[in-house]
């Protein structure tokens, strides 16, 4: 639990450096799916980042005084031990067990929040909390603050300053330590095996649902916590739907199959996409488009280096895609002009309408500003983030071609995406998902076997 204690200490040091205060970080609530059936529970990422504690009904409270001579406190509130409830729902650490196992200074039953937190807030110059994420918790914290305001004549007052606790945590989470990277490597390895299994299983007559089942089987078989996000399994024309949900569509000879799927391991996500031919070989038109997308992805990955900006991989990918669209006839050179015109006017967005990358970590679309941070300057006025070792991101260019009168018919309903998970290092980047083949020759060889 040492890594979690270090993170709490870093946040406490940040709070102390800004005059001290109290931070409140609750975990996620258990949500009802339907009737009296709950969704599968998953803890809040901010909460887990600071605790490693995966049980529900838990809150972290951090107390930092501006005076460095006074000790800071990290407190956990969690469910009490309950032998009867554990028969039904499994083991609970309980406050004392959690304090000993997870390295908190103190731990109390979750029911004791009302007793402890208002008193801590009354003595605090500032409150660190993530307003706007959970209406129930917003109301709870607001009620504590209002209660303190009502005691003003007794000399009690709420904190005068409010901070969004997510801001410093986002900066911390943006740079992964070696243990985090190890979890992400393992998540990528498991997801790579699932992609390979899907390639070997895919054939005419199989449905998207069946492909999804193979992915889930492979995730669980190798120790993954769960899918990191709902898997995208798209056959034929569905490949042009960027977030297609698997359905009853049956794979046909000559179709492409696009699989965007990744597991979560030790709470860290992977996010990998491959697009391959159901019949085992790419058609001429599919081959043309695949070569463009793969070349764009390789150009983008080459830009993932320390000192480059977050937008550099996207800019590199767009230029390759734009040139390929012109060379293949997907865009009319007489109408669209040169590659600079296509990029400048945004004509490529008709077939590539998204960005090339996003941060990756505890969340599949992980936290962290995409622009350099600067006090008092609006986000739009700041340059793109400079890449630093420890940052992790996806690289996922694509081409999605819907039928249209001005589009060559041989390209209709071709959707291709190639996506990898990449970590920034001091030198060349590390492709975490390198175990998944992505050249056409490799993919066709696997499917032929």
SS (H, E, C) the chain: CHHHHHHHHHHHHHHHHCCEEEEEEECCCCCEEECCEECCCCCCHHHHHHHCCCCCCCEEEEEEECCCCCCCEEEEEECCCCHHHHHHHCCCCHHHHHHHHHCCCEEEEHHHHHHHHHHHHHCCCEEECCCCCCHHHHHHHHHHHHHHHCCHHHCCCCCCEEECCHHHHHHHHHCCCHHHHHHHHHHHHHHHHHHHHHHHHCCCCCEHHHHHHHHHHHHHHCCCCEECCCCEEEEHHHHHCCCCCCCCCECCCCCEEEEEECEEECCEECCEEEEEECCCCCCHHHHHHHHHHHHHHHHHHCCCCCCCECHHHHHHHHHHHHHHHHHHCCCCHHHHCCHHHHHHHCHHHHCCCCCCCCECCCCCCCCCCCECCCCCCCHHHCCECECCCCCEEEECCEEEECCCCCCCHHHCCEEEECEEEEECCCCCCEECCCCCCCCHHHHHHHHHC
Mean pLDDT of 61-89: 91
In this model, does residue 71 exceed pLDDT 90?
Answer: no
Mean pLDDT of 124-142: 96
Where do the CATH 3.90.230.10 domains begin and end in the chain? 175-448
In this model, does residue 27 exceed pLDDT 90?
Answer: yes
In this model, does residue 51 exceed pLDDT 70?
Answer: yes
Tens digit of pLDDT for each residue in 387-437? Answer: 999 999 999 999 999 999 999 999 999 999 999 999 999 989 999 999 999
Mean pLDDT of 278-283: 94
In this model, does residue 374 exceed pLDDT 80?
Answer: no
User: In the prediction, which pLDDT does 376 show?
Assistant: 66
User: In the prediction, which pLDDT does 1 show?
Assistant: 75
Q: How confident is the model at residue 284 (pLDDT cuts 50, 70, 90)?
A: very high
The rounded percent of the chain whose pLDDT value lies above 90 is: 92
User: In the prediction, which pLDDT does 155 show?
Assistant: 84
The rounded percent of the chain whose pLDDT value lies above 70 is: 99
User: pTM of the full predicted structure?
Assistant: 0.94
User: In the prediction, which pLDDT does 33 show?
Assistant: 94
What mean pLDDT value characterizes the chain?
95
User: What CATH code would you report for 2-172?
Assistant: 3.40.350.10
Where do the CATH 3.40.350.10 domains begin and end in the chain? 2-172
Q: How confident is the model at residue 448 (pLDDT cuts 50, 70, 90)?
A: confident
Tens digit of pLDDT for each residue in 355-365? Answer: 999 999 999 99
Q: Indicate the class that CATH gives domain 175-448.
A: alpha beta
Q: How confident is the model at residue 375 (pLDDT cuts 50, 70, 90)?
A: low
Among 68-72, 325-329, 343-347, 406-410, which is the least confidently predicted range?
A: 68-72
Q: Which one has a higher pLDDT value, 71 or 134? A: 134
In this model, does residue 14 exceed pLDDT 80?
Answer: yes
User: In the prediction, which pLDDT does 3 show?
Assistant: 94
User: In the prediction, which pLDDT does 379 show?
Assistant: 74
């Amino acid at each position: 639990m040492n890594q979690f204690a270090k993170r709490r200490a870093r946040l406490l040091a940040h709070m102390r450096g800004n005059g001290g205060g109290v931070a409140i970080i609750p975990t996620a609530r258990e949500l009802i799916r339907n009737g009296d059936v709950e969704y599968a529970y998953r803890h809040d990422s901010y909460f887990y980042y600071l605790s490693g504690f995966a049980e529900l009904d838990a809150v972290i409270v951090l107390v930092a005084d501006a005076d460095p001579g006074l000790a800071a406190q990290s407190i956990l509130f969690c469910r009490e031990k309950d032998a009867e409830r554990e028969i039904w729902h499994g083991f609970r650490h309980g406050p004392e067990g959690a304090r000993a196992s997870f390295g908190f200074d103190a731990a109390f039953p979750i029911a004791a929040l009302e007793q402890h937190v208002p008193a801590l807030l009354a003595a605090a110059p500032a409150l660190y909390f993530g307003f706007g994420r959970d209406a129930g918790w917003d109301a709870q914290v607001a009620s504590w603050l209002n209660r303190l305001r009502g005691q003003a004549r007794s000399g009690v007052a709420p904190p005068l300053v409010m901070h969004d606790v997510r801001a410093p945590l986002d900066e911390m989470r943006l740079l992964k330590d070696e243990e985090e990277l190890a979890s992400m490597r393992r998540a990528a390895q498991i997801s790579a095996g699932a992609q390979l299994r899907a390639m070997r299983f895919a054939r005419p007559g199989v449905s998207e649902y069946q492909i999804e089942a193979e992915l889930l089987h492979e995730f669980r078989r190798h120790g993954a916590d769960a899918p990191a996000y709902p898997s995208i399994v798209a056959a034929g024309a569905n490949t042009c739907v960027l977030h297609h949900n698997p359905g009853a569509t049956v794979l046909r000879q000559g179709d492409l199959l696009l699989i965007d799927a990744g597991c979560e391991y030790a709470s860290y996500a992977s996010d990998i996409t491959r697009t391959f031919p159901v019949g085992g070989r790419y058609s001429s038109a599919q081959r043309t488009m695949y070569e463009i997308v793969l070349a764009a992805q390789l150009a983008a990955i080459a830009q993932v280096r320390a000192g480059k900006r977050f937008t550099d991989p996207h800019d590199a990918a767009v230029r390759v895609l734009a040139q390929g669209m012109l060379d293949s006839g997907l865009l009319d050179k007489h109408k669209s002009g040169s590659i600079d015109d296509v990029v400048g006017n945004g004509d490529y967005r008709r077939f590539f309408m998204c960005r090339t990358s996003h941060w990756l970590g505890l969340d599949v679309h992980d936290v962290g500003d995409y622009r350099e941070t600067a006090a008092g300057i609006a986000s739009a006025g700041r340059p793109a983030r400079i890449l630093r070792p420890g940052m992790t991101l996806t690289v996922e260019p694509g081409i999605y071609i819907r039928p249209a009168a001005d589009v060559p018919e041989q390209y209709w309903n071709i959707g291709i995406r190639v996506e990898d998970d990449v970590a920034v290092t001091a030198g060349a980047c590390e492709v975490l998902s390198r175990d998944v083949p992505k050249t056409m020759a490799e993919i066709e060889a696997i499917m032929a076997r």
